[in-house]
């Protein structure tokens, strides 16, 4: 049913453009229209063979003298004098000329009017020897000429039954030069009425298309899930702007001081932008069928044309019109193939789209032929666009209506589901009440267990602190310890034991885990260390016996840990060191030289009967030794452990000149600055020893 109504409207529109009586034409510079204009409400177009004087700007008085001395040439109006672009290039439309004709109207003393459109691109109009209208400045050179578009109606009283009309035209700013438009003559009320009807028609057209655009813009703002409505709205607004700046040039009536170049740029841009923007709309509408590469070509090529219009003068970019029209037609042909594929796959409402698009392309082709003076007839593009946009609005509205119907159906289903859910909710509420009672009981039970665990943790912490408290080391050593467990009880464990008055032993290990697990492991390690220290004379022997014990006795528990044992023998001023599975430790001598205490074997508990190596070195008063676990430095560079260790070494070396009490605070601050953190994420221990 929709197709029938749209077809009927289109046929009536075309029928209204067909004249019922063939009007007369200008022949050899004379238009005989007495009989045609004898009845009121008729107007006549002054088209046909005008007398033509190329390269001359002749006044009406000079014209009478010139006609007596030479045979006139004739020019078909509407028409242009432009040569081929291949002959004169960008000067093809430049020039000036005079056109004249006589019209026999038989309306002596009756008020008459001429509807004068724009000429390309400046003109002077004389009626019976009197200048009654002009646009721009008619001149014989580019420097003195000035273009202007200002369609108008001029009124006059003929003193005779015939009227002579002289038209001086010049052009240096457009690809077309000459009388490309048609003057219309008629009784003053008829011409003004016709103009008012055109204004009403155009304003209705502009208003309708503009409101379509605004409506669909609000649709997009409220539902951005359908972006094609935004591009459709943008296309409508551009078309409304184009109707406003072309045809009767309403924009010039509102802004008389608007420069001609800006006016022309708006006219071209409003046309050139439609293709890439409308292509975006069609691409989103038929995305499964529309090639993205073709869309990109249409988009960037269209924007390239617009860019050239913005940067160049009218004498250049007006030559882009024909190439752009061909480019647009190619895009339209591809769109037909896209729609055909959509119809083949029974895509929703694609036949409606094809119908409206066909009307648009037909009107577009008509205007191309009329503008290039290949045929004569009315310009229909605005009506074609309006028809297409009206159909597109119906298409979009139908989609939204389907969405509302589906929403209503879903709402009904949702109501039924809500009833079911309400019943389920009532059941769940009852179950929740039962569960809350059980959860409350379990929470109280868990809280009691947590309190007991907290009490055990505090006891474990107290025990660990008691066994790790260093004995009196003066006058041989000063010790400062940085111990940062991440839980209340950590996995790092250290002991300082005085074997004899001149012999001291340091132990540092890194047990697995945190909390109670770490506390239990630490107690096992401390117990074994105390037992072994009673019989082991050297650090490597301590590691040997501890390794063998944990390998034999605790294999099921899989307790593995790195450990350091370091002895100070102040009778001989010797430091003895053994390390199992640890990083190199640091011996900073009083003269500033840094010596490494290197690892001497694997971690404890992994290899049976392993004999650890031992390192001995002299110590003097002022020497400093730094023992640490890997949690202290590994966050300096998590991706590169070797680099992290180098960063720690540099930090420690910077403290060589600091007093003993300031060393550990300075190291901690520098570590946090380098890591850009305020705490460690693993247990960290640093034992700082200074020989006194």
Query: What does the pLDDT look like over 537-586, one tens digit per residue?
Result: 899 999 999 888 888 876 666 778 899 999 999 889 899 999 998 888 99
* Cβ atoms 55, 139 nearer than 8 A: no
The residue count of the chain comes to 692
Compute CA 332 distance to the chain's CA centroid, rounded to the nearest angstrom.
Answer: 28
The predicted model gives 83-106 an average pLDDT of: 85
Can you tell me the distance from the alpha carbon of 267 to that of 397, in angstroms, rounded to the nearest whole number?
Answer: 31
In angstroms, rounded to a whole number, what is the distance separating the alpha carbons of residues 228 and 217?
Answer: 10
Q: Does domain 194-404 have CATH number 2.40.50?
A: no
pLDDT band per the 50, 70, 90 thresholds, residue 17: very low
Q: Are the CB atoms for 141 and 165 separated by under 8 Å? A: no
Do residues 672 and 678 touch, judged by C-beta distance below 8 A?
yes
Taking 60 as the threshold, does the pLDDT of residue 1 lie above it? no
Query: If you average pLDDT over residues 105-110, what whole number do you get?
Result: 90
C-alpha–C-alpha distance, residues 178 and 551, integer Å = 108
Partners of 77 in the beta sheet? 48
How far apart, in whole angstroms, are the C-alpha atoms of residue 512 and residue 560?
Answer: 7
What is the token pair recorded at 507?
Answer: 């132990």
What one-character DSSP code corresponds to residue 483? E
Question: Would the pLDDT of 464 be above 70?
Answer: no
pLDDT for 422 beyond 70: yes
Query: How many CA atoms does the CB half-sphere of 271 hold within 13 Å?
Result: 24
* CATH code for the part of the protein at 469-691: 3.60.40.10
d(CA 625, CA 619): 10
Read off the pLDDT of residues 482-492 as tens digits, 9 standing for 90 and up: 888 777 676 78
* 297 against 390, higher pLDDT: 297
Mean pLDDT, residues 189-209? 85
Instruction: Identify the residue with better confidence: 87 or 173.
Output: 173
Q: Supply the pLDDT for residue 15.
A: 46
Least confident range of 3-12, 443-452, 673-682: 3-12
Residue 617, token pair as written in the block: 């070195």
Q: How confident is the model at residue 5 (pLDDT cuts 50, 70, 90)?
A: very low
Measure CA 426 to chain center.
Answer: 48
**Runs of H (alpha helix) within 182-226:** 188-222
Provide DSSP, 5-26.
HHHHHHHHHHHHTS-SSPPP-B
Q: What is the pLDDT of residue 557?
A: 67
- Residue with structure tokens 């155009």? 202
pLDDT tier, 7 (very low <50, low <70, confident <90, very high otherwise): low
* CB distance 58 to 37 below 8 Å: no
> What pTM, to 2 d.p., does this model score?
0.54
pLDDT tops 80 at residue 381: no
Question: What is the reported pLDDT for 466?
Answer: 64
Task: Give the model's pLDDT for residue 576.
Answer: 94
What secondary structure letter does DSSP report for 461? H
Find the DSSP H helices in 312-380: 314-317, 321-344, 350-371
Return d(Cα 117, Cα 252) in angstroms, integer.
13
Q: Which of 24-33, 407-416, 643-652 has the lowest mean pLDDT?
A: 407-416
In this model, does residue 605 exceed pLDDT 70?
Answer: yes
Pick the most confident of 69-73, 222-226, 540-544, 640-644: 540-544
pLDDT level of residue 111 (50, 70, 90 thresholds): very high
The predicted structure's pLDDT at residue 3: 45
Which pLDDT does position 555 carry in this prediction? Answer: 62
Mean pLDDT of the chain: 82
DSSP secondary structure letter of residue 90: G
Position 18 confidence tier, pLDDT thresholds 50, 70, 90: very low
Best CA proximity match to 207, nearest among 237, 249, 247: 237
Is the confidence at residue 228, as pLDDT, over 90?
no
Higher pLDDT, 193 or 400: 193
Q: Which positions ≥6 away from 613 have C-beta within 8 Å? A: 540, 578, 600, 601
Q: Indicate if 469-691 has the same CATH topology as 194-404.
A: no
Bridge partners of residue 578, in order along the sequence: 565
Say which residue, 350 or 26, is predicted with more confidence.
26
Tell me the average pLDDT across 495-507. 89
Of the listed ranges 78-87, 326-335, 366-375, the least confidently predicted one is: 366-375
Q: Which two tokens stand for residue 92?
A: 């093809």
SS3 147: coil
Cα 412 to Cα 201: distance, rounded to the nearest angstrom: 46
In angstroms, the CA 201 to CA 185 distance is: 21
Cα 191–Cα 193–Cα 196 angle in degrees, nearest 5: 110
3-state secondary structure of 539: helix
565: Cβ contacts below 8 Å, ≥ 6 apart: 505, 506, 507, 539, 540, 542, 543, 577, 578, 579
Give the pLDDT of residue 429: 81
Residue ranges per structural domain of the chain? 26-188, 194-404, 469-691
Of the candidates 149, 97, 151, the one whose C-alpha atom is nearest the C-alpha of residue 122 is 149
272: burial class by Cβ within 10 Å (0-12, 13-18, 19+)? Answer: buried
pLDDT confidence of 332, banded at 50, 70, 90?
A: confident
pLDDT of residue 160: 92
Q: What is the mean pLDDT of residues 138-146?
A: 91
- Confidence label for 376 from pLDDT (cuts 50, 70 and 90): low
Q: Rounded to an integer, what distance in angstroms lies between the CA atom of residue 371 and that of residue 393?
A: 29
Rounded to 5 degrees, φ, ψ at 615 are: -120, 135
Question: Over 80: is that where the pLDDT of 368 sits?
Answer: no
To the nearest whole percent, how much of the chain has pLDDT over 70? 84
Please count the other Cβ atoms lying within 10 Å of the Cβ belonging to residue 681. 11
563 strand-pairing partners: 509, 580
Q: Which residue has the tokens 């001395």?
A: 69
The angle at the Cα of 674, spanning 671 to 679, to the nearest 5 degrees, equals 55
| Residue predicted with more confidence, 598 or 425 | 598
Superfamily of domain 26-188: Galactose-binding domain-like (2.60.120.260)
Per cent of the chain over pLDDT 90 is 26
Residues 6+ apart with CB under 8 A from 2: 352, 391, 394
What angle do helix axes 292-311 and 274-285 make, rounded to 10 degrees?
160
Segment 638-646 shows an average pLDDT of: 76
Does residue 142 contact residue 172 with C-beta atoms inside 8 Å? yes
Tell me what pLDDT residue 385 has.
Answer: 67
Give the strand pairing for 563-569 and 122-127: unpaired
- Which of these, 461, 471, 515, lies nearest to 491 by C-alpha position? 515
Q: Decide: 195 and 115 in contact? Cβ < 8 Å.
A: yes
């Amino acid at each position: 049913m929709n197709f029938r109504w749209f077809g009927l409207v289109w046929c009536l529109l075309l029928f209204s453009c067909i004249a019922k009586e063939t009007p007369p034409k200008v022949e050899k510079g004379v238009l005989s229209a007495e009989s045609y204009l004898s009845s009121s409400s008729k107007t006549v177009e002054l088209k046909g063979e005008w007398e033509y004087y190329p390269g001359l700007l002749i006044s009406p008085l000079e014209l009478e003298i010139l006609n007596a001395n030479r045979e006139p040439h004739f020019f078909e109006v509407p028409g242009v004098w432009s040569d081929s672009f291949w002959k004169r290039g960008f000067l093809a439309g430049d020039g000036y000329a005079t056109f004249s004709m006589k019209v026999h109207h038989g309306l002596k003393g009756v008020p008459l009017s001429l509807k004068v459109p724009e000429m390309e691109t400046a003109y002077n109009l004389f009626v019976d020897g009197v200048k009654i209208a002009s646009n721009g400045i008619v001149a014989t050179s580019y420097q003195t000429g000035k273009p202007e578009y200002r369609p108008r109606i001029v009124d006059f009283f003929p003193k005779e039954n015939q009227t002579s009309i002289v038209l001086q035209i010049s052009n240096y700013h457009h690809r077309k030069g000459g009388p490309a438009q048609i003057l219309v003559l008629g009784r003053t009320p008829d011409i003004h009425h016709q103009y008012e009807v055109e204004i009403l028609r155009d304003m209705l057209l502009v208003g309708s298309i503009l409101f379509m655009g605004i409506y669909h813009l609000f649709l997009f703002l409220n539902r951005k899930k359908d972006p094609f409505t935004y591009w459709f709205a943008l296309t409508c607004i551009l078309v409304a702007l184009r109707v406003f700046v072309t045809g009767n040039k309403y924009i010039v009536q509102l802004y008389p001081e608007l420069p001609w170049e800006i006016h022309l740029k708006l006219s071209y841009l409003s046309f050139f932008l439609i293709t890439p923007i409308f292509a975006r709309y069609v691409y989103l509408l038929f995305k499964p069928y529309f090639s993205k590469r073709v869309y990109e070509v249409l988009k960037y090529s269209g924007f390239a044309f617009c860019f050239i219009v913005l940067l160049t003068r009218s004498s250049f970019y007006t030559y882009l019109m024909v190439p752009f029209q061909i480019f647009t037609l190619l895009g339209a042909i591809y769109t037909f193939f896209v729609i055909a594929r959509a119809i083949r796959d029974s895509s929703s409402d694609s036949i409606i789209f094809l119908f409206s698009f066909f009307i648009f392309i037909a009107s577009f082709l008509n205007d191309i032929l009329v503008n290039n003076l290949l045929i004569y007839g009315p310009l229909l593009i605005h009506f074609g666009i309006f028809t297409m946009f009206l159909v597109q609005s119906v298409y979009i509205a139908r989609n939204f209506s389907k969405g509302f119907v589906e929403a209503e159906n879903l709402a009904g289903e949702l109501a039924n589901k809500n009833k079911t859910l309400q019943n389920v909710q009532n059941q769940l509420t009852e179950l929740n009440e039962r569960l809350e009672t059980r959860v409350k009981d379990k929470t109280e039970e868990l809280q009691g267990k947590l309190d007991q665990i907290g009490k055990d943790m505090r006891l474990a912490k107290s025990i660990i602190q008691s066994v790790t408290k260093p004995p009196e080391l003066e006058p041989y050593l000063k010790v400062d310890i940085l111990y940062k467990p991440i839980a209340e009880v950590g996995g790092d464990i250290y002991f300082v034991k005085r074997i004899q008055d001149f012999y001291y032993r340091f132990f540092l290990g890194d047990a697995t885990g945190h909390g109670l697990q770490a506390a239990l492991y630490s107690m096992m390690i401390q117990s074994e260390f105390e037992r072994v220290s009673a019989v082991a004379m050297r650090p490597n022997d301590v590691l040997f016996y501890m390794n063998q014990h944990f390998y034999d006795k605790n294999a099921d528990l899989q307790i593995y840990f790195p450990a350091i044992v370091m002895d100070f023998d102040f009778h001989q001023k010797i430091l003895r060191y053994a390390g199992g599975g640890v990083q190199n430790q640091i011996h900073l001598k009083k003269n500033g030289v840094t010596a490494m205490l290197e690892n001497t074997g694997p971690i404890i508990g992994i290899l049976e009967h392993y004999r650890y190596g031992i390192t001995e070195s002299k110590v003097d008063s002022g020497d400093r030794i730094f023992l640490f676990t890997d949690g202290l430095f590994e966050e300096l560079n998590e991706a590169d452990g070797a680099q992290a260790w180098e960063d720690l070494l540099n930090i420690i070396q910077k403290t060589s000149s600091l007093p003993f009490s300031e060393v550990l605070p300075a190291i901690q601050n520098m570590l946090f600055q380098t890591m850009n953190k305020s705490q460690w994420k693993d247990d960290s221990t640093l034992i700082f020893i200074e020989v006194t």
